[in-house]
Every structure is written in structure tokens, then in C-alpha cells.
Chains A and B, each alone.
Chain A
Amino acid sequence: MNSDSASMGDPQAAGSAKRPLIHRQFLSTRLTHWIWAFSLFFLLLSGLQIFNAHPALYIGDQSGFTFDNAVLRIGAERTSDAGRIGYTEIFGTKFETTEWLGLYRDGNGIIQSSAFPGWMTIPSFYDLATGRVVHFFFAWIFAITLLAWLIASIFNGHLRRDILPRWRDLSALPRDIANHVRLRFHHKRDYNILQKLSYAGVLLVLMPLMIATGLAMSPGFNSAAPWLVEILGGRQTARTIHFATMLLLVGFFVIHILMVLAAGPLNELRSIVTGWYRTDAAEKEGR
């Protein structure tokens, strides 16, 4: 951990006091950020591989085979003119999703049927066993990293200072939304309130929920903590929440990347790689 992480001018940049370089990101923040980025990539693609083994999501303890408790189904079916279409059925409403979901064209132009196409999965062909191996390997890395980050962030103040929103931050919410809509970004040491809310949502809600719903699908873990699968509404509901949380995390990733690009990708990348961040000229740093 860095002891010099409080807002300090970089001696090199001290001369150009207009836009000072400050040390913004702890080593623990930077390391965990990249470990998560790496492991979430593999978790997503191996997770879609696992989903392909049974491409339907249900509500409750079990999967309805002779009754209908499905909220999502992805598949392929024959049409009246002897063709085939890929479909996605959400809450009973069917959408044709040929080329994307249900049916896709592989690298050789051959139509293949699988829920998520091969280019979205690891491995690129159907291999549930390997999907599980990859998924659980990175799940362990992901969970241990989250625990390490949480402990480090409690001790170095990152959690209290940067992540948890304060009441007075909330009063800045309307102005901050307006700034984001106009793509007007302030480059300060501290996160703005929308950043705090989204990082807190991802780190303290979505990521732990991903681990909890994952564990709730484990028959071994169920015997250790039956209350977990119960509060999540049953194993199949937990599986559905696991999938929905994945969609939210992918949504976060897309917005995160767009924001980095809009706010100045080189400066943002430097701060999450080296820790050093160039702030705006007019802003007063520190507190």
C-alpha cells in the first residue's frame, strides 16, 4: 500500500502547477482492478459456455419440465417452411434472434445451433466440462481478490473516502447528472457522486451477489448454508439472478469504458496503471 497516496503534487509536475499530477490510486486498487478485469473476461465467456448446456432460466427451486416456470429460453426451432430460426423467449414472448442467439454462423459460414454463439464462449465449441474448469478457477481468483480489496480498502481508507457515498455527496447528484449528460468531466482526486454510486453498486452489491448466487447453486455449499439459497428464492432463482447480475456487470463495463473514453482515456488509464492522475487546473486539490 502507498503511504503517500494522499493528494500530493508530483514533484516533476510541480512547476506546471496549472494541471498538477497527483497520486490518485492505491496499489491495491490498481492491482485488484486489473485482476478483476482479467478474471471477469474469462468468467463471462466460460459462464456463457455453461449456460449453453441448459439455455433456460427459471424461478423457484426446480426447473419446470412438465410445468412452466421459465423466464428465459434461448433455442432453435423449425419453421413451417422447413427452415430453422434461432429464438429468445423472455417472459413468454418470443423474439427471433437468428445469427445472434439460438443459431449462428461459425467461422466457416456453417449454421450452428447453440444459445450463445461460439465466438462468445470459452472454449469456442460446446465443452461444458472445460467451461466449468475455467469458470471455477477464475471464480476463486475473483472472490479472493474481492476479499483482499475489501480488507485493504477498509484499512487504507479507500472504502470510506472514495466509495461509500456521503449525504452531502448526494446533494451534488442533480448537478453531477447534468455534467455527465453534457460530457463535462471534472478531473479531481475524488470520485464524483455518480462514480461513487456505481462503484459502490458494483463492488459492494453486484460482485458479492455474483458470488452469493454462484455459491447458492452449489449442492455442497447448500448443505453448509441452506439459508442462502432460501433467501435467494431457491436454486433456480439464484441461477436466474446470477445471469441477470452478469447482464448488469456487462452494462457497467460498457458505460465504464464509454466514460473512460469521454473523460480522457490516457489520463484515466495512467491513473489505473501507475496511480498518477492529472487534475484540472482550476480545481483545488486535497482537503
Chain B
Amino acid sequence: MNKLVMNRRKLLTAGSVAGSSALLSGCDAFDGMLRGDSPVRGFMESTANGLSYRVQRFLIGGHALAQEFAEADILQPMRPNGITAPSDGAYKDLQAGGFADYRLQVGGLVQKPLSLSLDELMAMPTRTQITRHDCVEGWSCIAKWTGVPLSAVLDRAVVKSEARFVLFRCMDTIEKSLSGEVKYYESIDLVDARHPQTILAYGMNGERLPVPNGAPLRLRVERQLGYKMAKYIHAIELVDSLQPIGAGAGGYWEDRGYEWYAGI
């Protein structure tokens, strides 16, 4: 019996030493197989994100609304994130002129390409909603957004039947590298694009949209995370594939490893 206890003790000691050193040598053990270009990571991302996308689309379809809140729930200024003061010359010129010369270009797979000024956008149907903004980092902030439903803009441009995604091109440079400057870009599918709460916002908390929050025009896609909601938008393009844009994943952050469907 004593011998057995000794053996067991030895085994336990050996086991716990092995276990804790495996733990301490850490989790860099998995770093290699999780690099951006690794097939393991690609498999995990496409499986899980594809499943989340399909299940959520099945559950919420086209019309389930994101929660809306009361004025009393607006407890603080909207927290800006990402680029908060674009340094691009073209943007600064527009900003200096109070965005009077701003035009939103709507093109790609549409029958009537558009070029709309802010006044023209404001003359279109309006929607105001108090919603919770959820950042991919984990924080949330409630604010009131006013803008034109994206579906109204798409209807005016008349979307061609082969279009599958709406691509947003932005004025802010988010990355400067040897290979050049990268301006922010994002994309959503037509289900989200035609959702009643999906708006091109020009107003926030009862005022004109401030520069840190994306002036003069930003996207609100209330059933997804913050990085989908492109700021400083200057062009909307209807496309049938996301492959030719950037690295092909559909957005600036998506091309850097984040999921294209950010409903979770």
C-alpha cells in the first residue's frame, strides 16, 4: 500500500510539474497555428462566422429591430473610436467649408448613379433612433442618431438585380505603410442595407454629426458591432463580390483578421 501511495505521489508530482510548465510556457504554443494566413485559423473563422451569420440571419431575418432606448438612457457623449480627426487634405478642405461642397457618390451596380449634397440627403425621408453602440472591444454607449434610411438612397439609385453587397468608401486614412495609404472601407449585405434601422446618419444627439463621430455622414448598422459602421463616407458602391476590394475580406478590419459578419 505504501508503495502504491508513493507511486501515486510521484505520478502526481510529475503530472503537476508537467502540467504547470505546459501552462507557463504558455499559450504561445498556439501562436503559430493561429497566424493570419494559417489554415487552422481560416477554418475556425469561416466555420464559426459562417454558422453565426446563417443562424442569426435565420433568427432575425430582415426585419427584427435592434433595441431602442429612451432619451433618459443617453448618459454621456458618444464615445468616438478609430480615426477621430482625419488629416487628409481633401477632408480638411470640406471640413473648413462646413461640408457645403460635400457630395455622396452612389454608384456601381445601380441604374441611376447619384451625387447627393448634405441638403439633398436631409430632404429625403428621416429616421431618428436611440440605440446602443457595441464596440468589438467590449464597451457600449447609447446615443441618438438621425439620418436617411439607406434603403431610400438605394431605391433612388435603383439597385441592379446582380448586386449583392453595399460597399462604403471613406475619406479617412487609417493606415500609412510602405505600400501606400489605406482609407477605411466597409461592406454589408443587402439584407442589412435594407433594414429599417440602417441609416446614413448626419445627426447625433440632436446636433450635426461631430467630426470625431464621422462627420458629415456615417453608417449605422444597429445589429452589428461598431467597426461595421463606417465613418466619413464619401461613396457607396453596389457590388456583386467583395473579392476585388482590399485583400478581399470586405473591410479594413476584416482584411486584418476580424469577422465580416459582426453580429456577435
Spell out A's residues near B (CB within 8 Å): 45, 50-51, 53-54, 56, 61-67, 107, 118-125, 127-130, 132-134, 136-137, 139-140, 217-224, 226, 229, 235-236, 239, 261, 265-266
Within 8 A of A (CB), among B85-133: 132
Say whether, besides A54-B139, A61-B73, A235-B140, A140 and B51 are in contact (CB < 8 Å): yes
- Of the listed residues A128, A223, A239, the one surrounded by the most CB atoms of chain B closer than 10 A to its CB is A223
A23 to B69, CA, bound (A): 56
Please state if B264 and A265 are interface contacts (CB–CB under 8 Å): no
List residues of chain B with CB within 8 A of the CB of A223.
60, 64-67, 222-223
Please state if B256 and A129 are interface contacts (CB–CB under 8 Å): yes
List residues of chain A with CB within 8 A of the CB of B151.
none
List residues of chain A with CB within 8 A of the CB of B140.
61-63, 235-236
Instruction: Scan B1-18; emit 1 where CB is below 8 A from any A CB, else 0.
Output: 000000010011000000
List residues of chain B with CB within 8 A of the CB of A64.
75-76
B259, CB-defined interface residue at 8 Å: yes
A50 to B77, CA, bound (A): 25
Say whether, besides A132-B259, A133-B259, A221-B263, A61 and B69 are in contact (CB < 8 Å): yes
A73 to B150, CA, bound (A): 39
- The residue from A66, A124, A128 contacting B77, defined by CB atoms under 8 A apart: A66
List residues of chain A with CB within 8 A of the CB of B224.
219-220
A265 to B10, CA, bound (A): 12
List residues of chain B with CB within 8 A of the CB of A125.
31
B158, CB-defined interface residue at 8 Å: no
Say whether, besides A220-B223, A221-B56, A261-B12, A130 and B34 are in contact (CB < 8 Å): yes
Please state if A265 and B8 are interface contacts (CB–CB under 8 Å): yes
List residues of chain A with CB within 8 A of the CB of B173.
none
Please state if B27 and A124 are interface contacts (CB–CB under 8 Å): yes
Please state if B34 and A134 are interface contacts (CB–CB under 8 Å): yes
Query: Considering the complex of A and B, which 10 residue pairs feature the smallest CB-CB distances, nearest first?
Result: A220-B263, A129-B257, A119-B26, A124-B28, A54-B138, A63-B139, A137-B44, A218-B264, A54-B137, A53-B137
| Residue of chain A at shortest CB distance from B224 | A219
Please state if A61 and B142 are interface contacts (CB–CB under 8 Å): yes
B23, CB-defined interface residue at 8 Å: yes
Within 8 A of A (CB), among B46-83: 47-49, 51-52, 56, 59-60, 64-67, 69, 73, 75-77, 79
- The residue from B23, B30, B51, B65 contacting A122, defined by CB atoms under 8 A apart: B30
List residues of chain B with CB within 8 A of the CB of A54.
135, 137-139
A118 to B29, CA, bound (A): 12
List residues of chain B with CB within 8 A of the CB of A140.
47-48, 51-52
Say whether, besides A123-B30, A129-B257, A50 and B138 are in contact (CB < 8 Å): yes
B134, CB-defined interface residue at 8 Å: yes
Please state if A62 and B142 are interface contacts (CB–CB under 8 Å): yes
Pull 11 A–B residue pairs with CB atoms less than 8 Å apart, ordered by A. A63-B141, A67-B75, A118-B28, A122-B34, A123-B27, A124-B26, A129-B257, A130-B41, A137-B47, A217-B134, A265-B11
- The residue from A53, A118, A124, A219 contacting B66, defined by CB atoms under 8 A apart: A219
Please state if B41 and A133 are interface contacts (CB–CB under 8 Å): yes
A45 to B34, CA, bound (A): 13
Please state if B134 and A119 are interface contacts (CB–CB under 8 Å): no
**Sample of 5 more A-B contacts, CB < 8 Å, known A123-B31, A132-B136:** A67-B76, A118-B27, A128-B137, A140-B47, A140-B52
How many contacting A-B pairs (Cβ < 8 A)? 161
Please state if A127 and B66 are interface contacts (CB–CB under 8 Å): no
Please state if B138 and A53 are interface contacts (CB–CB under 8 Å): yes
| Residue of chain B at shortest CB distance from A133 | B45
Please state if B256 and A133 are interface contacts (CB–CB under 8 Å): no
A123 to B40, CA, bound (A): 13
- The residue from B52, B73, B136, B142 contacting A53, defined by CB atoms under 8 A apart: B136
B24, CB-defined interface residue at 8 Å: yes
Please state if B134 and A129 are interface contacts (CB–CB under 8 Å): no
A224 to B222, CA, bound (A): 13
B153, CB-defined interface residue at 8 Å: no
A96 to B142, CA, bound (A): 32
Say whether, besides A129-B256, A134-B34, A223-B223, A122 and B263 are in contact (CB < 8 Å): no
List residues of chain B with CB within 8 A of the CB of A221.
56, 59-60, 263-264
Please state if B59 and A224 are interface contacts (CB–CB under 8 Å): yes
B225, CB-defined interface residue at 8 Å: yes
Please state if A129 and B48 are interface contacts (CB–CB under 8 Å): no
Please state if B27 and A219 are interface contacts (CB–CB under 8 Å): no
List residues of chain A with CB within 8 A of the CB of B132.
61-62, 219, 235
List residues of chain B with CB within 8 A of the CB of A132.
136, 258-259
Please state if A123 and B141 are interface contacts (CB–CB under 8 Å): no
Please state if A65 and B141 are interface contacts (CB–CB under 8 Å): yes
A129 to B28, CA, bound (A): 16
List residues of chain B with CB within 8 A of the CB of A236.
139-140
Please state if A229 and B44 are interface contacts (CB–CB under 8 Å): no
